[in-house]
Chain A
Amino acid sequence: MKKVYINSIASISAQKTFDNTRFLEEICSYAETVLPVVSPNYKDYILPAAARRMARGIKMGVVASKLALEEAELENVDAIIIGTGMGCVRDSEKFVSAIIDNDEQYLTPTSFIQSTHNTVGGQIALGIGCKGYNFTYVHSSNSFESSLLDAKLMLQNDEANTILIGGVDELGAHTTELHKVVNHVKKNIENSLDILKSNTEGAVFGEGANFFTLGNEKKSSTYAEVIGIKMYNTLKSSISDLAKQFITSQKIAIAHIDLVILGNNGDVTFDGNYNELSSELFANTQQVYYKHLCGEFNTASSFGFWLASKILKNQHLPKVTKLNNINDSSFKYVLLYNQYRGKNHSFTLLRKC
């Protein structure tokens, strides 16, 4: 079986991450419970006429994919695999409200077309002329992880040599309002960086696009190697037991893990699994978190994957991500754990190259 490398990365998030020469040196904090992305200048990458027609999710995805391809010096890839919880949700909202408001009359197809979940993947393929495999996973907090697993299988089995994967979700105003009325969004927050101190239910919501090119050949641009990825739709035993099983199945020991990247979002009702890992199994391991930087969304874990890639390549931990203070350097194995509202758990294991 071939190895799987992360050969380039690109991130558009609520932080200034689209400039890949920087690494979370300057931090944006928000007094809001919903964090929009810091947009790059889309016109630098997309013709203005085309950009005007594009949904925000498409714009973010297209630009992030361009940045990732550029860094890996690729013009095309063998496959494009996208994860998105909601697709271009603003267009879904537009189309539903237009149906209701106008009693099914005077509708135009644009928002219906863009609302289709695989629009981002389709548009990227169209843009670069990629006729290869093109999948879109839409499974809540395991959307991005599904795309990673699929890409890993293909690269290992030599069914493809280069694959673009990405996690992308955009905020939609109505959908956010709905999540507010069922208390999935925090009522208020003074500073988005303090979510873990909030002691309240719900999360701070966000959006973003984190894209990567994976390949089965190592390059000068390589960030890390993907060792393992496993998903669990539910949790019936304990998360510590699942973590142990996963690590053992990768033929290493808990002690080999140099860094744990956790998807805590500060929701007191659902952070228990994270707290169990950080206070017990990995109590003596360096821990970092990131949802105070990017907000919670279905593919927020792709920001965690971006963070892991950056840390492994630079061997440096941004201070703002630290959950404890054990080890500042020499990271070889990094374990990521994520879940949302107690469902769709995942472990991802990366290794320094």
Chain B
Amino acid sequence: MSKGVAITGMGIISAIGNNVSENYKSLIEGRKGISKISKIDTIHKNAIMVGEIDFTNKDFEDQLGLSADNNYSRTAMLGIVAAKQAIANAGITDIKKYSTGLISSTSVGGMDMTEQYYYEYLKNDKHRKYIDSHHAGDSTQKIAEHLGIEESLVTTISTACSSAANAIMLGARLIKSGELDRVVVGGKDCLSKFTINGFKTLMILSDTYNTPFDENRKGLNLGEAAAYLVLESDKVVKAENKKVLAYVKGYANANDAFHQTASSENGDGATLAMEQALKVAGLHPSEIDYINAHGTATGNNDLSEGRAIVRVFGNNVPDFSSTKPYTGHTLAAAGAIEAVYSILALQNNIIYPNLNFKTQMKEYDITPQTELKEKELHNVLSNSLGFGGNCSTVIFSKSQ
């Protein structure tokens, strides 16, 4: 078993930037990417706010050099942009030199196209090319193709809002068990009418800026994004004399087994995930310096997650914040977006503010970090909690 799981590259595109440095700049400057929706014509446009990426699909097609007859969903294009950045950042010029896999994730898949041409497909063949790009694995296959990953382990995870955290977890286990030398892991999701209306029917969309861990929180803002990490084994790091950005030190997935869409009031699943991740990492709770919380700003999530944090950390809750006020909730991509932010926090010894926080919650007395804070960081814990009771924790560390 390989001991370490090194992160040697990362890439990201989100509502607060088209690459890693733009995202970091927005994070430290406290610049939100939340606005009224402009690219989807929805009747809810005045009632919601979203984290939208500026580029149009046409912009992406041009950037990626796609031919006019391409059948790329927006999800696929976001994923390719971020994954290519990660490969470049890891200094990989020959992808075939080591056995390289891709573990991606999505919840929306090609739904953005399906919802536009759903009935038209049966009437004429103009957009039928997109029928094949609907299923969740399609965008992953296209990323693999763009990275030159062939005859290899390529798969897709979909566990709602914990998907990308689970992709990182599987990737780490594949490296540890020696199945792969190198694996690209992450997630992508674009905005769609499907998710906007879905969360709208659940009545958990805020009509203004989302406010995690605030007593008066009104719900989440949806966002679109993609982020990928390159994970490499000790063997590759040594042979290539690789610069390591951080390590995946611990991880765990647990199930709340409470309700299909709501979290248990005391956060059983999240508690289990954090405890087991600490165990895998061999860390004591006191060694966690910062928690990048899931913090969606829904009534249910923040109560449940906050209680779970108190259960795990007791009277010594480390600094914590949610970065969803910046990006919105990017669903399957969230775990990867926040992995990049956690690694940037470690690299720069910075804790991001939990923007928009005003009022302390009544149910517990922990308060998120509300100002940018400089502090020596060694271990950062990131939570991702989803529908189906799916709870995931990943711990990122400076040292192996």
- Is the Cβ of A105 less than 8 Å from the Cβ of B150? no
- Residues of B contacting A179 in the complex (Cβ-Cβ under 8 angstroms): 131
- Is the Cβ of A96 less than 8 Å from the Cβ of B115? yes
Decide if A306 is an interface residue (CB 8 Å cutoff): no
Whole-angstrom distance between the Cβ of B376 and the nearest chain A Cβ: 33
For A131, give its contact among B166, B254, B387 (CB under 8 Å).
Answer: B254
B128 to chain A: closest residue by CB: A182
Chain B interface helix/strand/loop/mixed: mixed
- Residues of A contacting B137 in the complex (Cβ-Cβ under 8 angstroms): 85, 138-140, 142-143, 344
- Residues of B contacting A122 in the complex (Cβ-Cβ under 8 angstroms): 255, 260, 387-390
Whole-angstrom distance between the Cβ of A349 and the nearest chain B Cβ: 15
- Is the Cβ of B159 less than 8 Å from the Cβ of A104? no
Decide if B42 is an interface residue (CB 8 Å cutoff): yes
Q: B141-197: which have CB < 8 Å to A?
A: 141, 144-145, 149-160, 166, 170, 173-174, 177, 179, 193-194, 197
Contacts A118-B387, A153-B179 known; A126 to B149 CB distance under 8 Å? no
- Is the Cβ of B122 less than 8 Å from the Cβ of A231? no
- Residues of A contacting B256 in the complex (Cβ-Cβ under 8 angstroms): 131
For B141, give its contact among A96, A115, A136, A233 (CB under 8 Å).
Answer: A233
A127 to chain B: closest residue by CB: B257
For A99, give its contact among B170, B179, B197, B258 (CB under 8 Å).
Answer: B197
Decide if A119 is an interface residue (CB 8 Å cutoff): yes
Contacts A140-B137, A233-B154 known; A118 to B390 CB distance under 8 Å? yes
Whole-angstrom distance between the Cβ of B179 and the nearest chain A Cβ: 7
Decide if B98 is an interface residue (CB 8 Å cutoff): no
- Is the Cβ of B201 less than 8 Å from the Cβ of A343? no
> How many contacts between A and B, using CB within 8 angstroms?
202
- Is the Cβ of A146 less than 8 Å from the Cβ of B151? no
- Is the Cβ of B257 less than 8 Å from the Cβ of A125? yes
Q: Which of A106-114, A192-200, A213-221 contacts B (4 or more CB under 8 A)?
A: A106-114
- Is the Cβ of B198 less than 8 Å from the Cβ of A134? no
- Residues of B contacting A136 in the complex (Cβ-Cβ under 8 angstroms): 157-159, 388
Q: How many residues of B contact A (CB 8 A)?
A: 69
CA distance A298 to B134 in the complex (A): 13
- Is the Cβ of A139 less than 8 Å from the Cβ of B260? no
- Residues of B contacting A138 in the complex (Cβ-Cβ under 8 angstroms): 109, 135-137, 156-158
- Is the Cβ of A137 less than 8 Å from the Cβ of B255? no
Whole-angstrom distance between the Cβ of A3 and the nearest chain B Cβ: 15
- Is the Cβ of A139 less than 8 Å from the Cβ of B154? yes
Whole-angstrom distance between the Cβ of A210 and the nearest chain B Cβ: 18
Query: Contact mask B124-135 → A, CB, 8 Å, 1/0?
Result: 010010011001
- Residues of B contacting A100 in the complex (Cβ-Cβ under 8 angstroms): 115, 118-119
Decide if A243 is an interface residue (CB 8 Å cutoff): no
Q: How many residues of A contact B (CB 8 A)?
A: 66
Decide if A117 is an interface residue (CB 8 Å cutoff): yes
Tell me the A residues contacting B by CB distance below 8 Å: 80, 85-87, 92, 95-97, 99-100, 103-105, 107-109, 112-113, 115-119, 121-123, 125-126, 129-140, 142-143, 146, 149-150, 153, 156-157, 174, 177-179, 181-182, 230-237, 242, 298, 343-344
Listed by A's residue number, 17 A-B pairs whose Cβ atoms lie within 8 Å are A95-B194, A100-B118, A118-B160, A123-B388, A131-B255, A136-B388, A138-B156, A139-B140, A146-B155, A153-B177, A174-B118, A178-B122, A181-B121, A230-B153, A231-B155, A233-B152, A234-B151
Tell me the B residues contacting A by CB distance below 8 Å: 1, 42-44, 102, 107, 109, 111, 114-115, 118-119, 121-122, 125, 128, 131-132, 135-138, 140-141, 144-145, 149-160, 166, 170, 173-174, 177, 179, 193-194, 197-198, 200-202, 252-261, 268-269, 272, 386-390
Given contacts A118-B387, A132-B254, 9 further A-B contacts (CB under 8 A): A95-B197, A96-B118, A107-B200, A117-B107, A126-B258, A130-B255, A133-B254, A142-B155, A344-B154
